[in-house]
Chains A and B, each alone.
Chain A
Amino acid sequence: MPMKFTKFAFASLTILFLVAPLIAILPLAFTSSVILTYPIPSWSLRWFEELFTADAWRRAIVNSFIIGTGTTLLATVLGTAASLGLRNRLIFFRGTIRTLFLLPMVVPAVVLGVGMQVLLGGFGLTNSYAGVIIAHTVVAVPFVVVSVSGALAGIDRRVELAAESLGASPITVFRRVTLPLAMPGVLSGAVLAFATSLDEVVLTLFVAGPNQRTLARQMFSSIRENISPAIAAAAFLFITVTVVIGLIVILSNVMRARRR
């Protein structure tokens, strides 16, 4: 019994430790005060209004959406293609190539950022949406590769062989069998890619111009300029969007599993 209690207490404390920053910031989104501090004098939605009307914030939200969508599409397509390719046992140094794909996860973002600025500058892509999307894609692809590879590993190779023997060309096998079976992995990869892009600050600082200011970048700069509770409102928006997307994926996977 005491052991059980200790475990429970430890787990609760760990969770509290992880979500404490969120608990600290989220209520401030609803403050009526002009400064980002406790206590909250009275509740208000004024900062959400500010978020959606102030030009800088509105553009940041739109930019985040554009760049997030672009990154998701590009990273999902590239990551899925890479995972499919990495299934082929005949590829030399398959393990090494796989590690290379995952490298952006561990390389310091600052280093990537500097490299990216030099490289994209050479192509004239700094200060452009394309440039930011490319930069975000580099760090988002590993998440897609991990998630899609996992889904592909769960597919019985003989199911694809059976489809081929029944008259399906390789493209049809992919469209009708492999892709539908890997879909849960592709979807969660896409969500992770979107979340990565939404959250990314360092590369954006190096690559984006004033016109590509994303929500995360805007929060970063505004917290130094003026500590307005609009940041808390933006954070709230952030969390909500992430949680909603996460729930959609979980729900669709549950529904899919139930249909089987």
Chain B
Amino acid sequence: MTDFIRFDRINKFYGPLCVVENLDLGIAKGEFVSLLGPSGSGKTTLLMMLAGFERTTSGTILLDGTAINDVPTYKRDMGIVFQSYALFPHMSVGENVAFPLQMRGMGKTEIAERVAKALDMVQLSAYAERRPSQLSGGQQQRVALSRALVFEPRVVLMDEPLGALDKQLREQMQLDIRDLHRRLGLTIVFVTHDQSEALTMSDRVAVFNKGKIEQIGTPRQVYDEPATRFVAEFIGETNLVEGVVESLQGQEATVRLPSGAQIVSAVSATVSAGQSVYVSIRPERVDLTEIRGDQLNCLEAEVTDSVYQGDHLRVQLHNPSHPLIAKLGRRSREFSPGTKVFAAFSSGDCRVIAP
């Protein structure tokens, strides 16, 4: 499969400061890729370079096999949605959506038809005559979305488009955008610092850190099989336990903890015996039992605190090597502080990560 969008050894410097470092990334046609990372990790800069607002210091950006480094933004045919909506305040909603069609020299009747359809798609047909300032934040963002889609761009770029909306609206818009992506077969590059948003919406997630991609994969891969400590900690919550690799058996490794206990764990990175590593254990994969069960990994621990959080019970544990957190289903029984328990999990529920 050839990539529709291809970043080829991209570097971006602001003076001596390196924002994007030797980055390669391919995106297929019709794919929804999220660029996820903390602020300053280079994800927005990469999007701005794809949009043509920023120039690459070196490297090539290919769109459908053609280098677009020297193509100005207005000829790139990309729809962009910003966090700040960026609607034209001096035009009505209808005029906003008509703008890209006017730029393409379309006839009046065709423009009217397409604008009506695009506003219908985001359920805003009744608002065509209004000014953007008369709409709520969610409505404005839907106008921005229909304006970015109405001219059937080759790629749709979104820069934290839901960041300014409240939680409930944000979750609704996530599903709406995902639905549009599937229905229209759009190629979408989506920048966000919200990991749950990236997991919800994307075909693939690229996790950014310090101008590099730490890991790229499906939401399931980046969550279940984090390749690095950064990815494990940035996406979701995790217990990171330090230890030394004792032996390797195929895709699994035996790790000895400072307390002397052993963990058998799946391996993400290339490690060798004798190396110190981290084991990442997701809190919701940990089971608590009062008698030693038959599961492979069983760590002795003592409950220090237990908090009921509605949909789950959050239990803090103290273990001779490390503090641990377990998230238990709501049907779980209560654990009072001081209870001696065993934290049990299978070898597939944890991952060895190189430090």
In contact, B131 and A169 (Cβ under 8 angstroms): no
Residues facing A in B70-107 (CB within 8 A) are 72-80, 82, 84, 86-90, 99-100, 103-104
Give the number of chain A interface residues (Cβ < 8 Å). Answer: 20
In contact, B53 and A167 (Cβ under 8 angstroms): no
Given A156-B84, A259-B131, A260-B133, A164:B90 Cβ within 8 A: no
Q: Determine the chain A residues whose CB is within 8 A of the CB of B73 once the complex forms.
A: 161, 164-165
In contact, A163 and B80 (Cβ under 8 angstroms): no
Expressed in whole angstroms, the Cα–Cα distance for A156 and B140 within the complex equals 15
Residues facing B in A162-211 (CB within 8 A) are 162-170, 172, 176-177, 180-181
Expressed in whole angstroms, the Cα–Cα distance for A166 and B151 within the complex equals 8
Question: Out of B78, B88, B103, B148, which one reaches A159, CB within 8 Å?
Answer: B88
Expressed in whole angstroms, the Cα–Cα distance for A164 and B144 within the complex equals 14
Q: Determine the chain A residues whose CB is within 8 A of the CB of B51 once the complex forms.
A: 161, 165
Expressed in whole angstroms, the Cα–Cα distance for A170 and B90 within the complex equals 18
Question: Out of B82, B87, B89, B151, which one reaches A167, CB within 8 Å?
Answer: B151
The reply to whether the CB of B256 lies closer than 8 angstroms to some CB of chain A is no
In contact, B79 and A165 (Cβ under 8 angstroms): yes
In contact, A167 and B90 (Cβ under 8 angstroms): no
Q: Determine the chain B residues whose CB is within 8 A of the CB of A167 once the complex forms.
A: 74-75, 77, 100, 103-104, 151
The reply to whether the CB of A158 lies closer than 8 angstroms to some CB of chain B is yes
Residues facing A in B272-315 (CB within 8 A) are none
In contact, A169 and B89 (Cβ under 8 angstroms): no
Expressed in whole angstroms, the Cα–Cα distance for A227 and B100 within the complex equals 64
Sort chain B's interface into a size bin.
Answer: 20 to 34
In contact, B86 and A161 (Cβ under 8 angstroms): yes
The reply to whether the CB of B43 lies closer than 8 angstroms to some CB of chain A is no
In contact, A165 and B78 (Cβ under 8 angstroms): yes
CB distance from B270 to the nearest CB of A (A): 42
CB distance from B266 to the nearest CB of A (A): 43
Smallest CB gap from B159: residue in A: A158
The reply to whether the CB of B351 lies closer than 8 angstroms to some CB of chain A is no
In contact, A163 and B99 (Cβ under 8 angstroms): yes
CB distance from B97 to the nearest CB of A (A): 10
Q: Determine the chain A residues whose CB is within 8 A of the CB of B52 once the complex forms.
A: 165
In contact, B103 and A166 (Cβ under 8 angstroms): yes
In contact, B86 and A166 (Cβ under 8 angstroms): no
Q: Determine the chain B residues whose CB is within 8 A of the CB of A161 once the complex forms.
A: 51, 53, 73, 80, 82, 86
Smallest CB gap from A166: residue in B: B100
In contact, A181 and B53 (Cβ under 8 angstroms): no
The reply to whether the CB of B12 lies closer than 8 angstroms to some CB of chain A is no
CB distance from A90 to the nearest CB of B (A): 12
In contact, B76 and A165 (Cβ under 8 angstroms): yes
In contact, B86 and A260 (Cβ under 8 angstroms): no
Q: Determine the chain B residues whose CB is within 8 A of the CB of A180 once the complex forms.
A: 90
Expressed in whole angstroms, the Cα–Cα distance for A38 and B352 within the complex equals 100
Q: Determine the chain A residues whose CB is within 8 A of the CB of B88 once the complex forms.
A: 159, 162-163, 177
CB distance from A148 to the nearest CB of B (A): 16
In contact, B90 and A165 (Cβ under 8 angstroms): no
In contact, A162 and B103 (Cβ under 8 angstroms): no
Expressed in whole angstroms, the Cα–Cα distance for A181 and B151 within the complex equals 24
In contact, B86 and A158 (Cβ under 8 angstroms): yes
Given A158-B84, A161-B53, A166:B90 Cβ within 8 A: no
The reply to whether the CB of B147 lies closer than 8 angstroms to some CB of chain A is yes
Residues facing B in A244-260 (CB within 8 A) are 259-260
Given A158-B82, A161-B53, A260-B133, A168:B103 Cβ within 8 A: yes
Q: Determine the chain A residues whose CB is within 8 A of the CB of B87 once the complex forms.
A: 159, 162
In contact, B99 and A166 (Cβ under 8 angstroms): yes
Q: Determine the chain A residues whose CB is within 8 A of the CB of B75 once the complex forms.
A: 167
Expressed in whole angstroms, the Cα–Cα distance for A172 and B74 within the complex equals 10
CB distance from A232 to the nearest CB of B (A): 44
Convert B13-53 into 0s and 1s, putting 1 for each residue whose CB lies closer than 8 angstroms to a CB of A: 00000000000000000000000000000000000000111
In contact, A166 and B84 (Cβ under 8 angstroms): no
In contact, B90 and A260 (Cβ under 8 angstroms): yes
Q: Determine the chain A residues whose CB is within 8 A of the CB of B100 once the complex forms.
A: 166-167
Expressed in whole angstroms, the Cα–Cα distance for A259 and B92 within the complex equals 9
In contact, A181 and B79 (Cβ under 8 angstroms): no
Smallest CB gap from B87: residue in A: A159
Residues facing B in A136-164 (CB within 8 A) are 156, 158-159, 161-164
CB distance from A186 to the nearest CB of B (A): 13
CB distance from A87 to the nearest CB of B (A): 15
In contact, B74 and A162 (Cβ under 8 angstroms): no
Smallest CB gap from B81: residue in A: A162
Expressed in whole angstroms, the Cα–Cα distance for A165 and B103 within the complex equals 11
A-contacting residues of B (Cβ < 8 Å)?
Answer: 51-53, 72-80, 82, 84, 86-90, 99-100, 103-104, 131, 133, 144, 147-148, 151, 157
6 contacts between A and B (CB under 8 A): A156-B84, A162-B80, A164-B74, A167-B77, A168-B74, A260-B90
B-contacting residues of A (Cβ < 8 Å)?
Answer: 156, 158-159, 161-170, 172, 176-177, 180-181, 259-260
- Which 6 residue pairs spanning A and B have beta carbons closest together? A167-B103, A166-B100, A162-B86, A158-B86, A165-B80, A164-B73
